[in-house]
Amino acid sequence: MSTRSYPPNPVPPVALVGDSMHAPCADGTERPYLSMDAAASTAALPQVAARVAEFIPWYSSVHRGAGYKSQVSTSAYEGARSAALAFAGRPVSSPGDDVAIICRNTTEALNHLAYRLRLAPGDVVVTTVAEHHANLLPWSRAATCRYVECGGDGTFGADDVAAALCQRPSPGLLAITGASNITGWMPPLAEIIAAAHDRGVPVAVDAAQLAPHRPLPAEADFLAWSGHKMYAPFGAGILLGPRRAFADGDPFLAGGGAVDLVDLDEVLWTAPPEREEAGSPNVIGAVALHAAINTLTGIGWPGQQQDAFIRMQFDAQTRHYRESFPDATYSVICVDGEPAGRLIVHHARDRILIVDIALLPQFRHAGIGSALIRRLLEQADAGHLPVRCHVLYDSTARRFWEQAGFAAHGSDGVYVAMERSPQARPP
């Protein structure tokens, strides 16, 4: 692994809506706005914005009207549902065993699932310490969680998961991330899902960070993901799972659209997926998600083209950073001569401030994350400076960073300030 200065940007960027915006700065000037939050929410693809603009004149009620526009809207909504199933590698031509429930986002999808699985406090859910809060809190509220720990590099293996699955009492579910929101590391899902299925344990995959970058695991029993992280920021997400899991019992939300018959003292719930979608659905969000699915699928799976697409955004972003922070130090971390990640550090008078750490997805495993941190600490040592890093990480991320030699301060919410810990050293 080596570092080198960044070459002039040779690749034209893939445009996203809003790329050319300028934002007012503290010094009174306006500079190109740099979104550092793509893992939190992505800007819209132009294809998504165009499809939404095309659809809006046809917007009407879904499943609730006989008029032409209502039919157009219903068909667009159901088209998005089919596209979500296909995107997840599920058959759509004949009504398959799986249903795609259109909801707001991953958080809602996982809460919805935790409710629908009718977990009791004595039930065990195996999950990992690398999860986002959205894939921890719904389970710990409803059941007893058993956690797979990470090693010092922030990863775990299929054997570690299998060991947790084998402990007594036997778990009723494995809830696991498809890609870590902290490091971008992708657990070996195929192996892990096979290990769970061998032991009769169904698997729910939090695919919030996976869906924009890699094919979804067709073997997972349940999947949850968000449109706003895959260039469709109009408030739709997906909960996908076997029809039978939603066929009986009360739905998560009670209300119109989820029923076949209502009397003052009786209700007959309709079949899934409508049973799980009470209230007027977010058809514009669904249309946006469908357009993003089409665009990403058109770019191509697996990996290479997607990575080229992300690489172009990465290069464009780096160029913008250079314009906006001309005094900062730019390092590109290379693996076998290939740029793998970027570290941008701004030296203030009495400290160094991380402006940005980013890794290209195909290199996102914790070993490189640790190398970036090591490089940062070398810079700090050279200048005898403390490190202070303001990042949008939560308490799960804090655990990872602490293992890497940082002490975290601040609340468990968003911005956590981290300083280098005098005791701990990076791996």
Ligand X SMILES: Cc1ncc(COP(=O)(O)O)c(C=O)c1O
Question: 90-101 burial, b for 16+ CB within 10 Å, e for fewer?
Answer: bebeeeeebbbb
Q: How many angstroms from the chain centroid is the CA of residue 219?
A: 19
Instruction: Tell me the window of 24-32, 201-209, 240-248, 359-367 that interacts with ligand X (CB under 6 A).
Output: 201-209
Q: How far apart are CA 281 and CA 81, in angstroms?
A: 12
Q: Which is nearer to ligand X, 286 or 332 (CB)?
A: 286
Q: Does 111 bind ligand X (CB under 6 A)?
A: no
Q: How far is the CB of 105 from ligand X (least distance, A)?
A: 3
Contact 355, 384 (CB under 8 A): no
- For helices 304-324 and 283-299, give the axis angle rounded to 10 degrees: 100
Which of these ranges, 127-135, 150-158, 276-284, 362-370, lies near ligand X under the rule CB under 6 A? 127-135
Among 11, 21, 23, 40, binds ligand X (CB under 6 A): 40
Cα angle 106, 183, 331 (rounded to 5 degrees) comes to 135
Q: Which residues contact 239 (CB under 8 A, 6 or more apart)?
A: 100, 101, 103, 108, 109, 110, 112, 113, 222, 223, 224, 276
Please, which residues have CB within 8 angstroms of residue 244's CB and are 6 or more apart in sequence? 97
The minimum distance between CB 134 and ligand X, in angstroms, equals 4
Of the candidate residues 209, 282, 295, 396, the single one contacting ligand X (CB under 6 A): 209
Nearest approach, Cβ of 226 to ligand X (angstroms)? 3
Contacts of 337 (CB under 8 A, 6+ apart): none
For ligand X, the closer CB: 162 or 205:
205
Cβ 163 to ligand X, closest distance in Å?
A: 23
Q: Which is nearer to ligand X, 331 or 396 (CB)?
A: 396
Of the two residues 229 and 420, which places its CB atom closer to ligand X in the complex?
A: 229
The tokens for 140 are 């710990």
Closest separation in Å from C-beta 224 to ligand X: 8
**Span near ligand X by CB under 6 A; candidates 129-137, 155-163, 282-290, 309-317:** 129-137
Q: What distance in Å separates the CA atoms of residue 151 and residue 382, rounded to the nearest whole number?
A: 29
Count of residues that interact with ligand X, criterion CB under 6 A? 14
Exposed e or buried b for every residue in 359-394, given b needs 16+ CB within 10 A? Answer: bbbbbbbbebbbbbbbbbbebbeeeebebbbebebb
Residue 172 near residue 143, CB atoms below 8 Å: yes
Residues in contact with ligand X, shown as a per-residue x/- string from 131 to 150 under the rule CB under 6 A: -x-xx---------------
| Nearer of residues 226 and 370 to ligand X, judged by Cβ | 226
Beta carbon of residue 352, minimum distance to ligand X (angstroms, whole number): 27
User: Residue 401 is encoded by which pair of tokens?
Assistant: 């960073």
CA torsion 81-35-106-277 (nearest 10°) is -50
What CA–CA distance (Å, rounded) separates 304 from 315? 16
Interactions with ligand X, residue window 214-273 (CB under 6 A): 226, 228
Residue whose CB is less far from ligand X, 103 or 332: 103
Closer of 330 and 400 to ligand X (Cβ): 400
Specify the residue, 175 or 371, whose C-beta has the smaller distance to ligand X: 175
Identify residues 48-107 at the interface with ligand X (CB under 6 A).
105-107
Q: How many CB atoms lie within 10 A of CB 107?
A: 20
| 177 lies in the site for ligand X, by CB under 6 A | yes
Q: Are 318 and 339 in contact (CB under 8 A)?
A: no
Applying CB under 6 A, does 181 fall inside the site for ligand X? Answer: yes
Cα distance between residue 366 and residue 364, in whole Å: 7
Nearest distance, CB of residue 373 and ligand X, angstroms: 20
In whole angstroms, the minimum distance from the beta carbon of 109 to ligand X comes to 8
The least CB distance from residue 247 to ligand X, in Å, is 25
Stretch touching ligand X by CB under 6 A, among 130-138, 146-154, 402-410, 415-423:
130-138
Nearer to ligand X, 282 or 379 (CB): 282
Shortest spacing between CB 208 and ligand X, in angstroms: 4
Q: Which residue has the tokens 């970036």?
A: 372
Restricting to residues 284-343, which ones interact with ligand X according to CB under 6 A? none
Q: What is the DSSP string of 248-270?
A: SS--SS-STTSEEEEETTEEEE-
Compute the least distance from the CB of residue 306 to ligand X, in Å. 18
Residue numbers of the site for ligand X (CB under 6 A)?
Answer: 40, 105-107, 132, 134-135, 177, 181, 206, 208-209, 226, 228
